[in-house]
């Protein structure tokens, strides 16, 4: 019996066509950048403000959200009735978070690195200078769509994955491990509903899964060139925390 099985496997291997090679990561990234609107257009629209809503459907939670970014700085604000205001940001030097549940924190280590690297305008085009590795690892499926999974190792050493649609070339999924006070959390994000705004094709819906929970972000408006530098000033609570740490 064993001889028959081995013989069948050898015959199959001899007659099977070679597996189709995966497209290089650089090729997939370049296609995505072109589909969205082009490298120059993306980098020219570094100053942006998105408004929309944040939901956790299973928990019946819904709130408003504003995300602002410009020149390597970022600010996210979420307002949830009955819970309060959640804010996080990076002013070019300090990464921070103010959360009714987790308190006021100056972020360090991987949390800070992740925010800093994601705030870099070049991250939007997955510029080669930001990574030690960009490689296509498999053909898979995310959100019901066939996509090529690209492994990215950032210069900080953290690892994330992008998944680019076979059909459209657009980014349809991401996988990352987020550091938090509760430890490392794997987060899976599904991007969809791409629409044109300011000459760029951008996703208006992001479904994020972590800790067995589903979070939904829906973008209603997306504007460019409207964010003031004052938006990224550190909150007083963070300044107080920094002063306290410096005096120790």
Domain boundaries, the chain: 21-246
- Residue 31: Cβ within 10 Å count: 17
119-139 exposure pattern, b = at least 16 Cβ within 10 A, e = fewer: bbbbbbbbbeebbeebebeee
pLDDT 10s per residue in the chain (248 long)? 333 333 433 333 344 444 579 999 999 999 999 999 999 999 999 999 999 999 999 889 999 999 999 999 999 999 999 999 999 999 999 999 999 988 999 999 989 999 999 999 999 999 999 999 999 999 999 999 999 999 999 999 999 999 999 999 999 999 998 766 666 789 999 999 999 999 999 999 999 998 888 999 999 999 999 999 999 999 999 999 999 988 88
Instruction: Count CB atoms within 10 A of the CB of residue 113.
Output: 18
Residue 171, C-beta contacts closer than 8 angstroms, at least 6 positions apart: 32, 162, 163, 164, 165, 191, 203
**CA–CA dist 232, 91 (Å, integer):** 5
For residue 47, what is the enclosing H or E element? Answer: none
> How many whole angstroms separate alpha carbon 68 and alpha carbon 70?
7
Distance from C-alpha of 226 to C-alpha of 107, rounded to nearest angstrom: 27
Length of the chain: 248
3-state secondary structure of 172: strand
Residue 20 DSSP one-character state: P
Tracing tokens 């390597």 back to the chain, one arrives at: 72
Model's pTM, two decimal places?
A: 0.87
CATH class, 21-246 region: mainly beta
């Amino acid at each position: 019996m064993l001889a028959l099985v081995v013989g069948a496997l050898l015959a199959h291997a001899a007659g099977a066509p070679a597996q189709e090679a995966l497209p290089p990561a650089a090729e997939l990234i370049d296609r995505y950048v072109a589909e969205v609107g082009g490298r120059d257009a993306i980098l020219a629209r570094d100053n942006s403000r998105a408004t929309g809503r944040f939901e956790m459907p299973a928990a019946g939670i819904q709130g408003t959200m504003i995300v602002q970014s410009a020149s390597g700085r970022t600010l996210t604000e979420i307002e949830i009735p009955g819970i309060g205001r959640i804010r996080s940001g990076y002013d070019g030097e300090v990464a921070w978070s103010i959360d009714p549940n987790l308190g006021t924190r100056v972020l360090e280590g991987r949390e800070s690195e992740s925010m800093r690297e994601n705030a870099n305008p070049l991250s939007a085009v997955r510029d080669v200078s930001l990574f030690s590795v960009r490689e296509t690892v498999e053909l898979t499926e995310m959100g019901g769509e066939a996509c090529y999974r690209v492994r990215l190792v950032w210069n900080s050493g953290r690892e994330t994955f992008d998944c680019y649609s076979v059909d459209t070339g657009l980014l349809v999924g991401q996988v990352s491990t987020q550091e938090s006070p509760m430890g490392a959390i794997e987060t899976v994000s599904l991007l969809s509903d791409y629409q044109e705004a300011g000459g760029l094709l951008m996703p208006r819906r992001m479904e994020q899964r972590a800790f067995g929970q589903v979070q939904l972000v829906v973008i209603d408006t997306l504007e460019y060139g409207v964010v003031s530098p004052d938006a990224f000033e550190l909150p007083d609570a963070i300044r107080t925390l920094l002063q306290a740490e410096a005096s120790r």
